[in-house]
């Protein structure tokens, strides 16, 4: 998300405009595929549990889900992470993901992922299953297109 270093893009978010980003990495897998999917981000007045947000934390831009929120801080965590959270203030959040766009161009609205958020204890196992499933699906898809 190098393009966020451009203060003009941050200004667009602060003005309420929608921006498109290309997330990298696996921290939001399986809901966002880094390097493949794109996301539309827009400034929102209310930050709710389950939202995927764009935040500036410890000198880096992150795109993670809101796991907890109180009057002083907001706890963020990537869906592809099994531990480790970011504690941010509301002012560190610049936007909320309003759409996820697949490589085919299909757009979908992000869900709150309540089930996923409540299975943190089993997430390591679930991620292994989903990754294996994706690998098998990709191999089968590639074999069928030859």
Give the tens place of pLDDT for each residue, 4-15: 556 777 888 889
Answer for the pair 57, 92: CB distance below 8 angstroms, yes or no: yes
Give the three-state DSSP class for 135.
helix
Q: How far apart are CA 125 and CA 79, in angstroms?
A: 13
Mean pLDDT on 100-110: 95
Closest to 54 measured CA to CA, from 113, 107, 9, 118: 9
DSSP of 16-59, one letter per residue? T--EEE---SSTTTTTS-TTT-EEEEE--S---TT-EEEEEETT
Is pLDDT above 80 for 104?
Answer: yes
In the chain, % of residues over pLDDT 90: 53
CATH of domain 2-119: 2.10.109.10
pLDDT at 63 (0 to 100): 96
pLDDT at 117 (0 to 100): 79
Report pTM: 0.81
Give the tens place of pLDDT for each residue, 56-77: 999 889 999 999 999 899 999 9
pLDDT at 146 (0 to 100): 47
pLDDT at 142 (0 to 100): 52
| Upper half-sphere CA count for residue 59 (Cβ side, 13 Å) | 0
């Amino acid at each position: 998300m190098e393009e966020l270093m451009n203060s003009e893009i941050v200004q667009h978010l602060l003005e309420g405009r929608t921006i498109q980003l290309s997330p990298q990495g696996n921290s939001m897998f399986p809901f966002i595929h880094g390097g493949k999917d794109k996301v539309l981000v827009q400034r929102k007045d209310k930050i709710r549990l389950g939202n995927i947000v764009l935040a500036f934390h410890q000198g880096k831009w992150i795109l993670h889900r809101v796991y907890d929120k109180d009057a002083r801080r907001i706890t963020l965590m990537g869906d592809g992470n099994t531990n480790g959270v970011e504690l941010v203030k509301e002012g560190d959040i610049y936007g909320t993901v309003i759409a996820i766009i697949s490589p085919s161009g299909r757009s979908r609205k992000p869900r709150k992922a309540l089930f996923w958020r409540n299975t943190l204890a089993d997430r390591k196992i679930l991620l292994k299953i989903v990754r294996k499933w994706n690998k098998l699906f990709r191999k089968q898809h590639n074999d069928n297109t030859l």
